[in-house]
């Protein structure tokens, strides 16, 4: 690799390179050499911006978690509009997109990475925990508007949706589940608490 090549936004370019590798080859193919080769830079560039490769991976996952935080605000803002089941079905499709599943595979496969992420996500599996919090926040907003029963346990509903959603989406080769199957699962989980007209 040539050295001395200036990279604008090196961190973002390295993250983008890692994401392409995750999408194309999966978490096992993610190495510092693969990332820098994909980004078209010297290996030293990664180490100039991150303490080590595990630090890079932790920041990559934290970046994904930050995106979930942004999605949570957008989803919460939709409370009171559209059908609750439609919003939840779309949110799960976003949460379990191919890149998110690749990041989840990465987190699940690397003990040292999960240990570093305990500062960000003290319990649960990073990314899934934040996705569950996003869904629970939306459900609470809908409950406050009376579109979900007052006695509904938003946290338990969110955990159920995230767990069932993960099982529906994970482990598929280049395919997503039938949207009707996702909707059927969502409807099954929330049918007893919906109060929308």
Mind listing the domains of the chain with CATH numbers?
A: 6-49 (1.10.10.60), 58-190 (1.10.357)
pLDDT by residue (tens digit) across 56-98?
999 999 999 999 999 999 999 999 999 999 999 999 999 998 8
pLDDT by residue (tens digit) across 163-190?
999 999 987 766 788 899 999 999 999 9
The residues, any chain, with a CB within 8 Å of residue 70's CB and separated by 6 or more, are: none
Distance between CA atoms of residues 155 and 148, nearest Å: 13
Distance between CA atoms of residues 163 and 152, nearest Å: 18
SS3 at position 41: coil
Distance between CA atoms of residues 176 and 97, nearest Å: 8
If one counts every other C-beta atom within 10 angstroms of the C-beta of residue 32, the result is 18
Predicted TM-score (pTM) of the model is 0.88
């Amino acid at each position: 690799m040539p050295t001395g090549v200036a990279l604008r936004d090196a961190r973002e370019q390295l993250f983008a390179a890692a994401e392409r590798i995750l999408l194309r080859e999966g978490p096992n193919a993610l190495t510092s050499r693969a990332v820098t080769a994909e980004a078209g830079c010297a290996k030293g560039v990664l180490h100039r911006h991150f303490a080590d490769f595990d630090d890079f991976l932790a920041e990559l996952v934290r970046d994904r978690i930050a995106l979930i935080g942004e999605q949570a605000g957008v989803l919460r803002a939709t409370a009171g509009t559209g059908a609750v089941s439609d919003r939840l079905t779309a949110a799960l499709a976003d949460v379990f997109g191919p890149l998110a599943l690749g990041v989840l595979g990465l987190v699940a496969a690397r003990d040292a990475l999960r240990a570093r992420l305990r500062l960000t996500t003290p319990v649960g599996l990073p990314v899934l925990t934040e996705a569950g919090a996003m869904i629970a926040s939306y459900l609470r907003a809908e409950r406050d508007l009376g579109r979900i029963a007052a006695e509904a346990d938003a946290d338990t509903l969110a955990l159920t949706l995230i767990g069932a959603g993960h099982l529906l989406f994970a482990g598929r080769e280049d395919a997503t589940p039938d949207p009707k199957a996702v909707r059927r699962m969502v409807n099954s989980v929330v049918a007893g608490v919906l109060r929308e007209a």
